[in-house]
Chains A and B, each alone.
Chain A
C-alpha cells in the first residue's frame, strides 16, 4: 500500500517543507511505500527525496495521498483526479485582506487558496490540522469529515548546529536588551506593532535596546519599505531588518535574544514561538489566532496593541527576574509537548485509526 505526500511547492527549511520531510522519514520506517511529490521543488532538495508531480506512481483505491494545503494552486482543484483516498494536512491560509495594499500576488494566492480549501471539503476523507484554530477554519469551510489536531513536526536536531559566531560576538557582549522577532516580513505578522512597542520601550524605559526583525521580505517589498519609513520617522537607530539570512545566523539571533516579541494577528501555528521556547527565550505575544494554543499556557500573552502598555510589559519581563524565570520554565515544560516522538506516535495512531475505520466500512 502506498502513502504519498503531495504539495504544490516544497521549499528548503520552511515549516511545511520540514514537516513533509519529517513525515516522509517516519513513513519510510513503516510497512507503507512512500514518497514526496511536488510541482515546484527547491533545488537544494535532492531529487531522490522529492520527485516531480508528474512522476506520481499509479495509485490504487486503497492508497493514500497526504495533501499539504497552505496556499492557492491549481493542484487544489486537480487532486480529485487521483483515484485514491485523500487526507488533507491543513497548515492554514492567511486571509487575503492583509495583503491588499502590498502584493497582488499574495492577495490572489490566498484568495485562491481559501476557495481551494472550500473546494477540497468534498474530496477530503480525513484531515489533520496543525492547531485547533486551523481545525475551526476547516469546519467553517464546510468540512464534514473527521479532523484531528496534530502539531507540526519541528526539526529540533537542526537547532543544535553551531550558530554564527560573528553575530554572537557583535551583539552579546554588552548591556543592551536584544528583542527578537523571526518570521517573514508580512502584514499579518504586524511588525509595525512591534516597532511601535519598541519605540515606547526605548523612550520610557531603556535606551540601550535593539530590535531584530529577522526574516525575508521577498514579495513584500512595499510593506517592508513602509516599515522602514516608519522606523525612520520614529528616529529609531536600533531596529535591524536582516532580510533572508542563513540558518546559522538565525540560530545566532535566538542565542543573543533576551526577549521574543510576537504581535502577529494571524498564525496557523507559529513555529518561531516553539523555536524561542527551545532557546529558552521568554516570549511576549499578542493573543490572536493560534498563538495562545501554541503557547499552551506558557509565555506572556497580551490582549492589547497599545504600544505604551506593551512597552511596559517588555520592561517588566526584562527587570523582574522571577517573572522571567517562570516564563522560561513554563516554556520548557510546554516544549516537551512538541517532542517529535510524541507527535510521530500520534500521527501513526491517527493514520491507523483512519485505516481501521475505512476497512471496517
Chain B
C-alpha cells in the first residue's frame, strides 16, 4: 500500500484556507429546530411500501398454531402425550388469540385506509379554498 502524506496535505490545505480567508461561519445544524408538528416514529405516506411489507410480515406471523412439530423417538412421544393432555386448554386460548391478532391487523389496515381517505379529502378542500381565494 502506498503511503499518503496526510500531514503534509493537511498543512497545505490549512495554509490555502488561511490565504484565501475562508471561514467556518455558516449556519450550523444545531440552529435548525427539530420539527415538533410530527408524531414520533409516524410512517410517512411515501413509505407505504415499507409499511405494507411490515403489515404483511405481521400478518404472516399473526397465526399461532397451538402445537409445534415434535420429533420422533421417546422424547417426541412424551411431548405428544403432554400435548394431548394440555390440548383442550391451550387450543381454545390460541384460537381466541388468533382471532384477536387477525382483528388487530385488520384494524391497523382500516386506520391506514382512513388516513389516506382523509388526506384526499384535505387535498380537495385545500383546492376548493384556493379556488375560492382566487375568485375573491
Asked if A and B are interacting partners, one says yes
**Residues of A participating in the B interface, judged by any CB pair closer than 8 Å:** 40-43, 52, 54-55, 57-58, 101-105, 192-193, 195-196, 199-200, 204, 216, 218-219, 221-222, 225-226, 229-230, 233-234, 243-244, 297-298, 300-301, 306-309, 312-313, 316, 323, 326-327, 329-330, 333-334
Task: Give the CA-CA distance A188 to B56 in the complex, in Å.
Answer: 30
- Chain B: minimal CB distance from A297 (Å): 5
- B50 pairs with A222, CB closer than 8 A: no
- Tell me whether B134 is interfacial, beta carbon within 8 Å: no
- B35 pairs with A244, CB closer than 8 A: no
Q: How many residues of B contact A (CB 8 A)?
A: 41
- Tell me whether B123 is interfacial, beta carbon within 8 Å: no
Work out how many contacts link A and B, with CB atoms closer than 8 A: 107
Residues of A within 8 Å of B29, CB to CB, are 192-193, 195-196, 226, 230
Task: Give the CA-CA distance A101 to B42 in the complex, in Å.
Answer: 14
- A41 pairs with B38, CB closer than 8 A: no
Task: Give the CA-CA distance A221 to B37 in the complex, in Å.
Answer: 12
Task: Give the CA-CA distance A216 to B43 in the complex, in Å.
Answer: 12
Residues of B within 8 Å of A298, CB to CB, are 1
In the A-B complex, list the 5 residue pairs whose CB atoms are closest, starting with the nearest. Answer: A192-B29, A312-B13, A230-B32, A330-B1, A326-B2
Residues of A within 8 Å of B40, CB to CB, are 102-105, 222
Task: Give the CA-CA distance A195 to B61 in the complex, in Å.
Answer: 41
Residues of B within 8 Å of A199, CB to CB, are 26
Per DSSP, chain A at the interface is helix
- B1 pairs with A309, CB closer than 8 A: no
- Chain A: minimal CB distance from B118 (Å): 19
Given contacts A43-B57, A104-B40, contact A300 B68 (CB under 8 A): no
- Tell me whether B117 is interfacial, beta carbon within 8 Å: no
- Tell me whether B130 is interfacial, beta carbon within 8 Å: no
- A43 pairs with B17, CB closer than 8 A: no
Residues of A within 8 Å of B23, CB to CB, are 308
- Tell me whether B34 is interfacial, beta carbon within 8 Å: yes
- B24 pairs with A308, CB closer than 8 A: yes
Residues of B within 8 Å of A104, CB to CB, are 40-41
Task: Give the CA-CA distance A192 to B32 in the complex, in Å.
Answer: 11
8 contacts between A and B (CB under 8 A): A43-B53, A57-B71, A300-B6, A308-B22, A309-B14, A312-B17, A312-B22, A327-B4
- B1 pairs with A334, CB closer than 8 A: yes
- B13 pairs with A40, CB closer than 8 A: no
Residues of B within 8 Å of A323, CB to CB, are 4, 9
Task: Give the CA-CA distance A43 to B16 in the complex, in Å.
Answer: 54
- A308 pairs with B17, CB closer than 8 A: yes
Task: Give the CA-CA distance A306 to B23 in the complex, in Å.
Answer: 10
- B6 pairs with A54, CB closer than 8 A: no
Given contacts A309-B14, A323-B9, A333-B1, contact A225 B27 (CB under 8 A): no
Given contacts A101-B34, A225-B35, A297-B1, contact A218 B50 (CB under 8 A): yes
- Tell me whether B136 is interfacial, beta carbon within 8 Å: no
- Tell me whether B60 is interfacial, beta carbon within 8 Å: yes
Residues of B within 8 Å of A233, CB to CB, are 27, 32
Task: Give the CA-CA distance A25 to B46 in the complex, in Å.
Answer: 36
Residues of A within 8 Å of B27, CB to CB, are 230, 233-234
- B32 pairs with A307, CB closer than 8 A: no
Residues of A within 8 Å of B34, CB to CB, are 101-102, 222, 226
- Chain B: minimal CB distance from A250 (Å): 16
Task: Give the CA-CA distance A36 to B14 in the complex, in Å.
Answer: 52
Given contacts A219-B41, A329-B2, contact A226 B32 (CB under 8 A): yes
Task: Give the CA-CA distance A216 to B81 in the complex, in Å.
Answer: 49
Given contacts A309-B17, A326-B2, A329-B2, contact A221 B42 (CB under 8 A): yes
